[in-house]
Structure 1
Amino acid sequence: MNFSSFLVLLVLTWPLCAHANQADRKQSELDSLKQRLHTLQQEFRSTQTDRQEAADELRQSERAISSAVRQLRQLDDERQRTQGDLQTLTQQAEATAARIREQEARLAQALRAAYQRGQGDALKLILNGADPNQSTRDLRYLAHLSRAQQATIESLRADLAQLAALQQETAQKTTELTQLQAAHEAEQQKLLAEKRAREQVLQKLSAQFKQQRREISSLQRDERSLTRLVERLNRLMAQQAARAAARARAAAQQAHKKPAAEKDAQGQRRSPVAVNTETPVAFRSDRPFSGLKGSLRLPVAGELMNRFGDPREGGGLRWKGLFIRAAEGVAVKAIAAGQVVFSEWLRGFGNLIIVDHGEGYMSLYSNNESLYKQVGDSVQPGDPIATVGNSGGQPDTGLYFEMRHQSRPVNPLLWVK
């Protein structure tokens, strides 16, 4: 039984005749209520301390996961580049080897032809007593043939040297690729270990975080309202029976409304208010950001779980953005061109990234699993900037998205198609 229900019960059971002994008994119950309030305040402070310690552990784990995912992505890119280099080197080596075989064949053919014609000995041509003019022409031909053969030999030597260099570079790239593969596998193991550690933190928080995350704020309101209720009881003891009965009926009606709200707030799984299927794509525009109103897309596809401005669970606050329920690891895309001005873990928001679009407009993406962009990075429409998660203690996996102008929240649905 919560405090409000307990107070309602006190009012409803108040006797119509305010005798002195009954007033004393109710004052005793009021003192007991004050003692319960004191105990509640102590429990609340203890819960706040435990929650802060658990949130610090969660921050360290989620930072490590974000870094591991980013390193894994960089290793994949480097491995793909190295594989491309290795393929290019292999093609060059095969082309060089084919050219060497062709040159060897031509050289062997030329040497065979020279041997068959018997023109391999210049001294023999001079001493054989043949026509001097013919001998001169034969010597010139022989010299020309010799120079051609020498050039072929030099080209063959160069190609052989190039082939050896290509083979050596190919071996180096193969070694580099092997090392990158090993680093990739090690990084994957590190990521799995970090995720297991995060799951342990989330399990530690599950009992208190899923419920107390919504109840902490209501406990603070209960603490403030309880004093007012105690004062109300003191006034009720001095009032007439009819006025006490009227207030009791009003309190009973209020008590019947609250459990229904609590039941809605504690439902097993909320139904979405809408579904988004389109995500940002690359586009170029000379218009300022304010001129893009009505043409943008939400940063991730998924189920919209609230409307902008609706009261949040637990009451008191209203939604300043949209929570889009989506699968873990899905890419979060920038809605428009801009520059990253914040990329860090923030209490209550988990891994948060903020993009400045100019003219005082900013877009905020929170509860991410990993952040791809860092402060100072420029982004274009449709660029992946993060991945969906449930960091920051969010019970559902998805993205919390806000748009702000001059620090004031604006309705994102007014900006999308």
Structure 2
Amino acid sequence: MNFRPFLILLALIWPLCASANQADRKQSELDALKQRLQTLQQEFRNTQANRQEAADELRQSERSISSAVRQLRQLDDERQRAQTDLQALAQQADATEVRIRAQQAHLAQALKAAYQRGQGDALKLILNGADPNQAARDLRYLTHLSRAQHETIEALRADLAQLAALQQQTEQKSAELTRLQMDREAEQKKLLADKRAREQVLQKLSVQIQKQQREISNLKRDERSLTQLVERLNRLMAQQAAREAARARAAQRAQKSQKTEKSAASQPRRGLGVNTETPVAFRSDKPFSGLKGSLRLPVAGELMNRFGAQREGGGVSWKGLFIRAAEGTVVKAIAAGQVVFSEWLRGFGNLIIVDHGEGYMSLYSNNESLYKQVGERVQPGDPIATVGNSGGQPDAGLYFEMRHQSRPVNPLLWVK
């Protein structure tokens, strides 16, 4: 509730207050304002409770999104392997068909040659009265020919059976691809549903945060106004009209100044610079401390703050960099290390921490999804997450910190 217009009006009519009854009436108004202050304080506590509930809902929704994205990536890998197997089966089937056609042609040629010789069976060779030695040689030739034809037929049967088996495997792989595709579509639908649920939670949380900020601002302003009102009521009859008019003009100037400040605050926040280079794979025998000045920031985007500068609205200073980037942009590891934390954390959303040794760690927060789990090794340039605005962050981007022995260090001193 804004009492400033009320105070301005009160300052204008104070010179007309010439009796104790009027002062008593102002005291009654003060009591009413105090009662309203107590009501606002209770509403503030209720807002804090609602914010806690919305934050819990946000955590569950963002965990679901992270899991769905990770499973969708695994399905894509399985589908790629199935396609590779299917191509290999197709190549085997083509080779088998070529071999079968060659065997069929060879067998047809052998049968044709046998027919042209008049079948040349062993009984005919014995009874035609030919030279016995020649007949023996012809019999051996026919025996070898018959055995070769039999082996050709058996090989043909084996290849036909193999072709049938390959065709069956091809059908099975095709069915597997179809199943994987259906699973992928189901995962996509689940991801979209989780995103919609997350957007609803974020909207609810944003409204509650704005309400809380308004309530805090109003409470502070009303407390100051009430204190000033009590002091002025105690010296109503002693003040001169000129001083009252001066106070009214001062209040109007203060109101105009406040409007100017609100107008300036409504302007969109601009960045301090733009990062265009991201980590790439490299190998180095140096310890992490030897890489200072040669690293790259984990994502391309707009740098929104300076390390060590005070945050908007006062309070703690920036211990890292907020890089504004499009949602879904890949976040890359700045150097080799091991994942020691990969989970949702209040105030940071989906957070992943990589230990680089020598007491150095890098922190990547406000992500949409986390690709790596605790214990996994990462190399420079490895995708480890995707950009989001988890944890209640109003803008999509990555909040990035570097720490040595748990103390924050300026990341810009470590990059090219």
Same structural fold, with TM-score higher than 0.5 when normalized by the shorter chain: yes
**Which amino acid letter does the alignment assign opposite residue 299 of structure 1?**
P
Shift of 1:140: 2.1
**Structure 2 residue matching 1:195: 3-state secondary structure:** helix
Q: Indicate whether 1:171 and 2:171 are aligned.
A: yes
Q: Quick check: 1:92–1:166 contact (8 Å CA) kept in 2? A: yes
Partner Cα separation in structure 1 for residue 307 and residue 2 of structure 2: 30
Q: Quick check: 1:54–1:205 contact (8 Å CA) kept in 2? A: yes
Q: Quick check: 1:342–1:374 contact (8 Å CA) kept in 2? A: yes
Question: Which residue does the alignment assign to 1:54?
Answer: 54
Q: Quick check: 1:214–1:314 contact (8 Å CA) kept in 2? A: no
Identity of aligned residues (%): 76
**Structure 2 residue matching 1:328: 3-state secondary structure:** coil
Unaligned runs of 5+ in 2: 15-19
Question: Which residue does the alignment assign to 1:139?
Answer: 139
**Structure 2 residue matching 1:90: 3-state secondary structure:** helix
**Which amino acid letter does the alignment assign opposite residue 188 of structure 1?**
Q
Q: Quick check: 1:119–1:142 contact (8 Å CA) kept in 2? A: no
TM-score computed with the length of structure 1 as normaliser: 0.83
Q: 1:405 to 1:230 in 2, by over 3 A?
A: farther
- After superposition, residues 110-259 of structure 1 pair within 5 angstroms as 110-118=110-118, 120-209=120-209, 211=210
Q: Quick check: 1:214–1:313 contact (8 Å CA) kept in 2? A: no
Shift of 1:214: 6.5
* Cα-to-partner distance string for 1:194-214 (whole Å, 9 max, x where unaligned): 1111222222233233x3687
* Cα-to-partner distance string for 1:57-105 (whole Å, 9 max, x where unaligned): 1111111111111111111111111111111111111110111111011
Question: Which residue does the alignment assign to 1:278?
Answer: 277
**Which amino acid letter does the alignment assign opposite residue 283 of structure 2?**
R
TM-score computed with the length of structure 2 as normaliser: 0.83
Question: Which residue does the alignment assign to 2:94?
Answer: 94
Q: 1:260 to 1:414 in 2, by over 3 A?
A: farther
**Structure 1 residue matching 2:101: 3-state secondary structure:** helix
Q: Quick check: 2:360–2:404 contact (8 Å CA) kept in 1? A: yes
Question: Which residue does the alignment assign to 1:84?
Answer: 84
**Which amino acid letter does the alignment assign opposite residue 368 of structure 1?**
N
**Which amino acid letter does the alignment assign opposite residue 46 of structure 2?**
S
Q: Quick check: 1:349–1:391 contact (8 Å CA) kept in 2? A: yes
* Cα-to-partner distance string for 1:128-173 (whole Å, 9 max, x where unaligned): 1111221122122222222222222222122112112111111111
Q: Quick check: 2:44–2:216 contact (8 Å CA) kept in 1? A: no
Q: 1:311 to 1:162 in 2, by over 3 A?
A: same
Partner Cα separation in structure 2 for residue 2 and residue 360 of structure 1: 51
Question: Which residue does the alignment assign to 1:41?
Answer: 41
**Which amino acid letter does the alignment assign opposite residue 393 of structure 1?**
G
Partner Cα separation in structure 1 for residue 394 and residue 287 of structure 2: 37
Partner Cα separation in structure 2 for residue 120 and residue 395 of structure 1: 94
Question: Which residue does the alignment assign to 2:325?
Answer: 326
* Cα-to-partner distance string for 1:334-382 (whole Å, 9 max, x where unaligned): 1111111111111111111111111111111111111111111111111
Partner Cα separation in structure 1 for residue 208 and residue 262 of structure 2: 17
Q: Quick check: 1:348–1:393 contact (8 Å CA) kept in 2? A: yes
**Which amino acid letter does the alignment assign opposite residue 90 of structure 1?**
A
Q: Quick check: 2:271–2:305 contact (8 Å CA) kept in 1? A: yes
Q: Quick check: 1:217–1:314 contact (8 Å CA) kept in 2? A: no
Q: Quick check: 2:47–2:212 contact (8 Å CA) kept in 1? A: no
Q: Quick check: 1:304–1:323 contact (8 Å CA) kept in 2? A: yes
Q: 1:159 to 1:184 in 2, by over 3 A?
A: same
Shift of 1:43: 2.7
Greater displacement, 23-32 / 363-372:
23-32
Partner Cα separation in structure 1 for residue 48 and residue 278 of structure 2: 38
Shift of 1:119: 5.1
Q: 1:9 to 1:334 in 2, by over 3 A?
A: farther
Q: How many equivalent pairs are there?
A: 405
Shift of 1:265: 4.5
Q: Quick check: 1:321–1:411 contact (8 Å CA) kept in 2? A: yes
Q: Quick check: 2:366–2:389 contact (8 Å CA) kept in 1? A: yes
Shift of 1:270: 1.0
* Cα-to-partner distance string for 1:230-259 (whole Å, 9 max, x where unaligned): 69x97xx99xx9xx9xxx9x9999999887
Q: 1:27 to 1:294 in 2, by over 3 A?
A: farther
* Cα-to-partner distance string for 1:25-65 (whole Å, 9 max, x where unaligned): 99988877765654443232111111111111111111111
Shift of 1:117: 2.0
